[in-house]
Chain A
Amino acid sequence: MASTNTEVGIDDHSADVFPPFQTETYPSQLLWLALTFGLFYYLMAKVALPRISSILEVRSDRIEQDIEEANRLQRESDEAQAAYEYDLAEARNNAQVIAQRARDEAKAEADTKRGAEEARLNEMLEKADADIAATKAAAMEDVGAIAEETTQALVNSLLDGKITKAQVSKAVSKAGAGA
């Protein structure tokens, strides 16, 4: 294999040794490992990792803030919702009160109107009754006078007698009372 290998081995006599065990390559590997890994560690510790850490921190702060803000808005909207519902209930209550009052007023008005009308009607009824009674009384008086005249005429013609008007009137009222 050494003959076909055009690359320069570290040492010709060591070319047959298993490469990881060629100790003469160790100083070079260790030096370059120390340099490269040291630089890498420095870059990570001083630049890359603080930067990523700050990115993640800023983001988690921002998310926390946003969640807080969202909670605040949620609270506000809950409060607005509650206020709205309270207003709605109150308005509904008021509406009921107003309606009740309107109903009561309408009823009271109707009651007074009906009372007045009834009173007027009663008055008219009473007046009519009184008229009837007066008419009846007048009629009854006329009946008495007619009876007296009729009786006087009858008696005069039948008995050809002399009967006074006073006697007839007395008899008629007696008969009327007896009847």
Chain B
Amino acid sequence: MASNPIDQFKISKILDLQVGSFDFSFTNSALFMVVTVATTAAFLILTTSGRGLIPGKLQSLSEILYEFVANMLRDAAGAEGMKFFPLVFSLFTFILVANLFGMFPYFFTFTSHIVVTAALAFLVIGTVIVYGFYKNGIGFLKLFVPDGVPVALLPIVGLIEVISFLSRPISLSVRLFANMLAGHITLKVFAGFVTSLSSLGFLGIVGAALPLAFTVALTGLEFLVAFLQAYVFAILTCMYINDAIHPSH
């Protein structure tokens, strides 16, 4: 029995695949990536295949998701930012569905691994840097020079801006990773209390009511966190893209 709250994050191989010295095995993490992509893509594509003028419930859901992300991006980065809509939409739905799948017991949450969230964060920052220089040339560096700052303070402010820019991928990845990790550990710990207390006899069963209530409440909270972290990731992506489009602020 996996009573250790860390065990749920263990990566286990399903299909062994070694290339040279690298281990590219198909694991439980990879399985849930495939499941996430397959269900999300299938849902979005199948529910809209009717192209109903008057949408059904499921088509409505797809459209709401579309408009939610589209409004988020348009509000943050303007009409020009819409060329990054597929990226933001993919990131949001991918993370959201992965987080929500993680709420099923025995399902693996691949967003609770720092390497996954870091890869997504660097994808965002990489896109911002590449597009920023492509669009603005050297003018992209104005991002680090805020308007209206005295010349004497410019080196210090510039340094702060550079550090804050460099910390973006770190904060972006660690926020998602830590939230998913901590939430799942907390749930597991409280759920573990229920089983260990109730094995102590009658008083233990009575006492287990409290952690059980906590577990129920935390489950609700975790659903909120699952959505919120996907949202935060997406909205920050939108804001960073806005920086790439309009570097002078």
Contacts and interface: CB of A to CB of B under 8 A. Distances in A.
A56 B7 contact: no
Contacts of B114: 20-21
Best-buried of B86, B89, B112 by chain A (most CB within 10 Å): B86
Interface residue SS majority, chain B? helix
B78 to A, nearest CB: 18
B29 A29 contact: yes
Interface in A12-32: 18-22, 24-32
Contacts of B25: 10, 28
A115 interface: no
Contacts of A39: 37, 41
A29 B11 CA distance: 9
Best-buried of A22, A34, A43, A52 by chain B (most CB within 10 Å): A52
A34 B119 CA distance: 9
B13 A43 contact: no
B23 A37 contact: no
Contacts of A18: 6, 9
A56 B66 contact: yes
Interface in B1-50: 1-2, 4, 6-7, 9-13, 17, 22-27, 29-30, 33-34, 36-37, 40-41, 44-45, 48-49
B94 interface: yes
A37 B29 contact: no
A29 B62 contact: no
B69 to A, nearest CB: 9
B181 interface: yes
A31 B53 contact: no
A33 B11 contact: no
Best-buried of A48, A49, A51 by chain B (most CB within 10 Å): A48
A1 interface: yes
A10 B11 contact: yes
Interface in B117-156: 119-120
Interface string B50-80: 0111010001001100110000000000000
A16 to B, nearest CB: 10
A153 to B, nearest CB: 136
Interface in B168-227: 177, 181
Interface in B68-118: 85-87, 89-90, 93-94, 110, 112-116
Nearest to B42: A43
Given A44-B90, A49-B66, A25 B23 contact: yes
A40 B51 contact: no
A48 B4 contact: no
Nearest to B43: A48
Contacts of B13: 8, 10
A43 B113 contact: no
A167 interface: no
Contacts of B24: 27-28, 31-32
B90 A40 contact: yes
A96 interface: no
A37 B51 contact: no
B43 to A, nearest CB: 9
12 contacts: A4-B2, A19-B10, A20-B114, A26-B115, A29-B113, A32-B29, A32-B30, A37-B94, A40-B41, A41-B87, A44-B89, A55-B59
Which A-B residue pairs are the 8 nearest by beta carbons?
A32-B30, A45-B86, A7-B12, A36-B33, A19-B9, A48-B44, A27-B22, A40-B37
Interface of B: 1-2, 4, 6-7, 9-13, 17, 22-27, 29-30, 33-34, 36-37, 40-41, 44-45, 48-49, 51-53, 55, 59, 62-63, 66-67, 85-87, 89-90, 93-94, 110, 112-116, 119-120, 177, 181
Given A30-B115, A40-B41, 17 more contacts: A5-B7, A10-B23, A19-B11, A25-B11, A26-B115, A28-B27, A29-B27, A29-B29, A33-B110, A33-B119, A37-B37, A41-B86, A41-B90, A44-B44, A44-B93, A48-B48, A52-B66
